Amino acid sequence: MAKHNYSAGPCVLPQGVFKQASEAVLNFNGIDLSILEISHRSKEFIEVMDKAQALVKEVLEVPAGYSVLFLQGGASLEFLMVPFNLMNNNGKAVYLETGAWAKKAYKEAAALGNAEVIASSADKNYNYIPKGYQIPSDVDYFHCTSNNTIYGTQIKDFPKTDALMVCDMSSDIFSKKVDISKFDLIYAGAQKNLGPAGATLVIVKDEILGKTDRKIPSMLDYQIHAKSDSMFNTPPVFSIYVSMLTLEWLKGLGGIEVMQKMNEDKAALLYNEIDSNPLFEGTAELEDRSLMNVTFLLTNEALKDEFDAMWNAANISGIKGHRSVGGYRASMYNALAKESVQALVDVMKELAAKHA
């Protein structure tokens, strides 16, 4: 019996992708070499890179004038690469602080230059998305985090600004339709909806690069990576290959619009149970609830051991909440089947039948 995997990341990926990837580890494309040992300069891997980049552009409908990069270092390295590439020595960047990762992104920028938190939801332990703030037009860029895995919040409407728009979409990219043209730079660690840890996706508008007066170390320079077609140094071959397979899987399902509907259905199923079951309560503000990460608490902590035993017995994995929030977190990324959500809902219903 397969696990119902609610891990926040690295997380659930499609079973078919695992099968293809495992075969490629032994013999990639019938060449009697493993995907783990082929040269990143080989014709076979260049075809993988080209296809992965093309699929990103196709699936997300990336407009002309953007580069798609597969880099390393996770979103955490992007926290530093963004200000290096976009913030002038005497410039300024503003950040929307909606959680732990947004705060870390701001700290990296503040260590390099003049950065400011323009709005924050820290006053309520990040259980909502700030609104009504004004973004100055004279800043080098505005940075936000689209989905907050720890706190279960998600930006539904992005602000309009004349400044460069930068977004960390690590935990909800490919989960819903996004107008890429509204952003100048998007980055995302692969290990949520795209592939295994190791690769970092960057989508950047070409015209914004090379404009800073800052000296950028080569490995941190987006322009160098773009000119090298993500091959400035040895790329994370296996992670990019699995990401390509996952994008093929997503395209085969019908693309982003189909996936968005599936994710909305899964989220509605679980949120409806949380809201109707007297033994549970959500932690995020209703209007800002994430489709990807559902955070909730027991209303009676005395039932914790019993509930934990029940979901474990149902073969459910990875729903313990982050230590900064407590309770439970159900991460429902693209590859999590609705049947897995139903399994959790059934356990919640069973607990209520005993005690409510």
Does pTM surpass 0.85? Answer: yes
In the prediction, which pLDDT does 312 show? 97
pLDDT tens figures, 168-177: 999 999 999 9
In the prediction, which pLDDT does 64 show? 98
Active site residue 249: no
In the prediction, which pLDDT does 52 show? 98
Ranges of beta strands (E only) in 149-307 are 153-154, 164-168, 185-189, 200-205, 280-282, 293-298
In the prediction, which pLDDT does 81 show? 98
- Which position among 140, 168, 221, 288 bears the catalytic label? 168
214 in a structural domain: yes
CA-wise closest residue to 92 among 187, 212, 219, 222: 212
240 in a structural domain: yes
Active site residue 311: no
Residues 86 and 219 in one domain: yes
Pick from 253, 274, 289: which residue ends a domain?
253
pLDDT tens figures, 37-73: 999 999 999 999 999 999 999 999 999 999 999 999 9
- Per the listing, tokens 């032994």 go with 26
309 in a structural domain: yes
Helix (H, G, I), strand (E, B) or coil at 105: helix
pLDDT tens figures, 226-236: 999 999 999 99
CA-wise closest residue to 100 among 293, 243, 281: 293
Mean pLDDT of 17-34: 97
* Helix axes 256-276 and 237-253, enclosed angle (nearest 10): 80
* Residue 1 confidence class, pLDDT cut points 50, 70, 90: low
- Per the listing, tokens 């490919």 go with 174
CATH of the domain at 313: 3.90.1150.10
pLDDT at 356 over 90: no
In the prediction, which pLDDT does 2 show? 78
Residues of the domain holding 260 = 255-355
Active site residue 168: yes
Average per-residue pLDDT for the chain: 97
CA distance 141 to 17: 37
CA distance 300 to 304: 8
- Which position among 140, 172, 184, 192 bears the catalytic label? 192
Tokens for 256, please give them.
């982003």
